[in-house]
Amino acid sequence: MTTRISTLLGREHSRLELANKNSGGTMKPRISLLLLTLALAASSTLTAHARECTNATLQGNYASQIEGTILGPNLPFRGLAMAHFDGKGNITQVDHIVFDGIPPAIEWTPGTGTYTVNPDCTGSAVINSPSGQGPVSLHFVVVNHGKQINQVVDANAATAVAYKVD
């Protein structure tokens, strides 16, 4: 992001220098002021986005919609989950996963797991649930200050989006 802002500032500076030449040199103080204003705005934007995430960023209940395909047999599935993140790296959840149009034997299957959130708001989790085929490993990105989690299951073509339940 810093490179992109530097590039934009450089383009704006070149454009303003050309305008300064064409106006007889009266724009130099204005150019300096404009560049200072742009640099300060860029700096405050970068500072605002520098917020770090931790396991505590995910705390509370999150509702997920899950969709994908089990690779190999090409078995499509869709589901819903309600997960509770404790802010310390532990997950408890229930899910309702429909495989190839067949509803689960247990209406809401319980599961447990662990998660880790990195400072850059990426993370990973492992969930153990009878509705999965062994432990389910996934990676995620925390967005909107912990109000949304975008997820992908590592071993299959499956994604999920979870929203914090207020």
Query: In this structure, what CATH number is given to the domain that contains residue 103?
Result: 2.40.128.20
pTM of the model: 0.69
Same structural domain, 68 and 38: no
pLDDT at residue 2 is higher than 80:
no
Number of structural domains in the chain: 2
Same structural domain, 26 and 63: no
pLDDT at residue 48 is higher than 70:
no
Better pLDDT: 147 or 29? 147
* 128 strand-pairing partners: 112
Structure confidence by residue, pLDDT tens digits, 121-130: 999 999 998 8
Range of the domain at 87: 55-164
pLDDT at residue 79 is higher than 60:
yes
Look up residue 1 and give its amino acid.
M
Q: What are phi and psi of 132, to 5 degrees?
A: -90, 175
- Tell me the Cα Rg of the chain: 24
Same structural domain, 44 and 66: no
pLDDT at residue 165 is higher than 90:
yes
pLDDT at residue 3 is higher than 70:
no
Same structural domain, 70 and 142: yes
Which one of 11, 34, 49 terminates a domain? Answer: 49
Cα distances from 109 to residues 69, 121, 130, 152, in angstroms, run: 19, 28, 7, 20
